[in-house]
Chains A and B, each alone.
Chain A
Amino acid sequence: TLVLSACTGGSGASGAGDTSGNQLLTIPREDLATFTRNFNPLSPQAAPMTLQAVYEPLAVHSMADAKDTPWLATKWEQAKDGKSLTFTLRDGVKWSDGQALTADDVVYTFQLQKKVLGGFDYLDKVTAVDAHTVKFSFNKAFSPAFYEISGHYILPKHIWSKVKDPAKFTNPNPVGTGPYTKIEKFQSQSYELLKNPDYWQPAKQHIAGIQMLAFSGNDSANLAFTNGEVDWTQSFIPDIEKSFVAKDKKHNHYWFPATGAMINWQLNTTKAPFNDPAVRKALSMAVDRDQITAVAMNGYAEPADCTGLARTYDKWRDTSLAASCTWTKYDTDATAKALDAAGYKESGGKRKLKNGKDFTLDISVGSASSDWISVANIIKQDLAKVGITATVKTPDWSAVSASYNTGTFDTGIVWSNNGATPYEYFRGVMSTKMLQPVGKQATEDYHRFGDKKADKLIDAFAAAADESAQRKQIDGLQELYNEDAPVVPLFTGPEWGAYTDARFTGWPTEKNPYATLGNRNGSTILVLTSLKPVKG
């Protein structure tokens, strides 16, 4: 068979080079070696594209340009007191089985969500005002609710109300309002999503369908991508200029907008030297963020400043504060001075704690996050310059997050919340509301820092009705952040995304940032409805 197969072998995926106009948009999943036919959006393990191409939300928020695009709802209105929100549904939207979308579907969706998965504590009641209007009532003024509700997928009541156990329903042939709902050729390593014949904006169904491919890891997915066998990837590609762009400068592109969450080096503030903001700031100055973003993150990330805000929130940033940042600038001498001043003197090349012991610390990172391990290693090198011995610990993520949850860790590289506004971020790093004593399970604020002053600002932000009112709170929070240094902000996580426009055009770019290049987030639908096949 060896000789025989040598001749027939060759091109892998079917689509490469196909420009018939009917080509499928091929997307790899590097994190799923195999697919299971589960299109239940309630399941955390729903098959890819369930939430991107099959089911749709009321409105689409793009992190790239921070814009909200009306989708299943055409408009919405917040009550004056901020305690309710009313959506008006689009006319003429049909489920893929031909039935019309009604307000009942929306009401049912949220009922089901609360029943099966919980959440939405602030949500008092969802009512269908009429067939096209839905009203969400809250138990308090809560402006971030808009993003949660508008971004939530909507399910057809007439299907789901008949399902006995919605949590365990695999929904093999989904009925949704999305552009591509027809599942074809489902196999363990690939499947196709074809056009929804009843789509409400048929003019935007330019492409014939989507083809998903399963890969066993970044390596094999990237290989397919750099070989031109898939169109759009979101996996981390090392040295993308060389390994991808250089192969076909004309068609191969990437764009890594800094729309991800802020990645922090968190110090457990319940432990001795780290409870001192001066120490935290001193350590922060020891970190060479430029090297981290350049080497560990392959130059794809943006260094953080002392406002703590990710680049996503640029419009919220207090630029004058940002310009005068001190403790996020790399300055080993300053670190040494600051530590000396705080009482952590160096002797014999080793920095000492106040009790005379060596200043040492552990940095824990989940073993799967190789890029963050490199980040930790650079921090370790940087700390060595000021006489601090750091040890990088890389157990499995589950062990790491267990130590975060209970507050038993020393320091660690951690993600942060990434909402439409900085609300979630500041709540996560500074609010006392989220604060749990060591030993109790915490779900955010692992570093266990809380500032009552921050609470006030955060609550005021949630209750504020408009952006101008919120701006003040955010400015206050930034100043507080600069003072407290609750965590050591490192860089804004980039949103990976690369594509080849050999077979499809219309991709979001830096110049046209209508969405990010992620293919599994809320704005993916915008890309799916913008791409056009290359013909001929």
Chain B
Amino acid sequence: MTAVDIETTGTAAPATQARAARRRGLLRQLVDNRKALTGLTLLALFALVALLAPVLAPGDPSFINSTGSQAPSAAHWLGTTAKGQDVLALSLWGARSSLFVGFTVGLAATAVAIVVGLASAYFGRIVDDALTLVTNIFLLLPGLPLLIILAAFLPPGTSTVILVLVVTGWAGSARVLRAQAKSIRGKDFVAAAVVTGERPLRIMFREIMPNMASVVMTTLLGCVMFGIGAQAGLEFLGLGDSSVVSWGTNLYWASNDGALMTGAWWAFLPSGLCIALVAFALALVNYAVDEITNPRLRSRRARRQRRG
């Protein structure tokens, strides 16, 4: 949820700086930025873990074999759950569902937001009024409660979780993107494209959108963060699909098995930490994108002394 606060402040950077950013390529600059590098490395690590889970922890991670939660040991580095499942395996496999849902939600919500934002900005007038109204309503409707209601009435499963999160998650991004698109819509090059005879769709996606790369990026990252966090929240409440192995369900089971009460902190800690690390990594990248498009934000070691 912090994401929203961060992203709305990614206000339009001065054109010259944005231009400079483009010249050097956003990705290249990200790699140069220390925060972004940390974030990207972390993300890559988690992505790798997700991909390699079947290799790193072969077999069904949720296989129930014995009672008794065992503390971390050589056999089970992170111990076992109350049902004898290996916590490390669960955490590794959990990355798959969590990252998949997070990124799918992020991409889908951003896609919706882009379409709504662009259409709103491009067509203006009635279309804009209507879409803005819808956006604002979705924005004002309390998210989690709506999420709970929606999650409860749709059949459980990853696709439901994704759908529900997209439905409740796009509006914030749409608002940011609309504002940005609207300011670009007002630029003369859009009018010039119209005068040239370009079709609306082409203008929206070929002329306007490429100019919003960094905002799209920040909203995307924000949406991914939202997706991962909200999925975990839903699953923790038992509204997700508890037969899927994800960080959220791991926590659900840990809490169900009274992990903290029985002192089995190892069942509770890793998944939460994973969520936090991924969210942290995303936030770092987000922060870096802000810095790149708006170099003023860069923290200086020490304020350079003015000559005096």
Q: Do chains A and B touch in the complex (CB under 8 A)?
A: yes
A residues whose Cβ falls under 8 Å from a Cβ of B: 218-219, 222-223, 226, 237-239, 242-243, 291, 294-296, 298-299, 367-368, 370, 373-374, 377-378, 381, 391-396, 399
Q: Is the CB of B83 within 8 A of A396?
A: no
Interface membership of B17, Cβ < 8 A: no
Chain B neighbourhood of A294, CB < 8 A? 67
Q: How far is the CB of B274 from chain A (nearest CB, A)?
A: 21
Chain A neighbourhood of B65, CB < 8 A? 295
Interface membership of B136, Cβ < 8 A: no
Q: Is the CB of B241 within 8 A of A394?
A: yes
Chain B neighbourhood of A219, CB < 8 A? 255, 258, 261
Nearest B-chain residue to A384, judged by Cβ:
B60
Interface membership of B200, Cβ < 8 A: no
Assembly CA distance A443 to B136 (angstroms): 45
In-complex Cβ contact of B82 among A218, A238, A391, A393 (8 A): A238
Contact with A along B132-154 (1 / 0, CB 8 A): 00000000000000000000100
Chain A neighbourhood of B77, CB < 8 A? none
Chain A neighbourhood of B69, CB < 8 A? 239
Assembly CA distance A395 to B261 (angstroms): 27
Assembly CA distance A160 to B71 (angstroms): 59
In-complex Cβ contact of A367 among B63, B242, B253, B262 (8 A): B242
Assembly CA distance A399 to B155 (angstroms): 8
Assembly CA distance A237 to B258 (angstroms): 8
Q: A223-B261, A238-B257, A396-B152 are in contact. Are A374 and B241 (CB under 8 A)?
A: no
| Interface CB pairs A-B, < 8 A, 29 | A218-B258, A222-B258, A222-B261, A223-B261, A238-B256, A238-B257, A238-B262, A239-B258, A242-B262, A243-B258, A295-B83, A299-B67, A367-B238, A367-B239, A367-B242, A370-B242, A370-B253, A373-B242, A373-B243, A374-B83, A377-B62, A377-B64, A377-B243, A391-B243, A393-B156, A393-B243, A394-B241, A396-B152, A396-B156
Interface membership of B11, Cβ < 8 A: no
Contact with A along B232-264 (1 / 0, CB 8 A): 000000110111000000001101111001110
Question: By CB atoms of chain B within 10 A, which of A218, A367, A377 has the most?
Answer: A367
Nearest A-chain residue to B60, judged by Cβ:
A381
In-complex Cβ contact of A295 among B84, B242, B262 (8 A): B84
Assembly CA distance A436 to B65 (angstroms): 39
Assembly CA distance A370 to B263 (angstroms): 20
Interface membership of B41, Cβ < 8 A: no
Q: How far is the CB of B67 from chain A (nearest CB, A)?
A: 5
Assembly CA distance A392 to B245 (angstroms): 13
Q: Is the CB of A368 within 8 A of B238?
A: yes
Interface membership of B66, Cβ < 8 A: yes
Assembly CA distance A299 to B67 (angstroms): 9
Question: By CB atoms of chain B within 10 A, which of A219, A368, A395, A399 has the most?
Answer: A395
Assembly CA distance A326 to B63 (angstroms): 27
Chain A neighbourhood of B64, CB < 8 A? 291, 295-296, 374, 377-378, 381
Assembly CA distance A394 to B243 (angstroms): 7
Q: Is the CB of A243 within 8 A of B261?
A: yes
Contact with A along B173-214 (1 / 0, CB 8 A): 000000000000000000000000000000000000000000
Q: Is the CB of A226 within 8 A of B253?
A: no
Q: How far is the CB of A123 from chain B (nearest CB, A)?
A: 39
Chain A neighbourhood of B252, CB < 8 A? 370
Assembly CA distance A237 to B253 (angstroms): 14
Assembly CA distance A399 to B67 (angstroms): 31
In-complex Cβ contact of A370 among B152, B238, B241 (8 A): B238
Assembly CA distance A399 to B152 (angstroms): 10
Q: Is the CB of B262 within 8 A of A243?
A: yes
Q: A295-B66, A295-B84, A377-B243 are in contact. Are A395 and B156 (CB under 8 A)?
A: yes
Nearest B-chain residue to A226, judged by Cβ:
B261
Assembly CA distance A238 to B83 (angstroms): 11
Chain A neighbourhood of B262, CB < 8 A? 238-239, 242-243
Q: A299-B67, A370-B242, A395-B156 given; name 19 further pairs at CB < 8 Å.
A: A218-B256, A219-B255, A219-B261, A238-B257, A242-B263, A243-B263, A295-B65, A295-B67, A296-B64, A296-B83, A367-B156, A367-B239, A370-B256, A373-B242, A373-B243, A374-B64, A377-B64, A391-B243, A394-B242
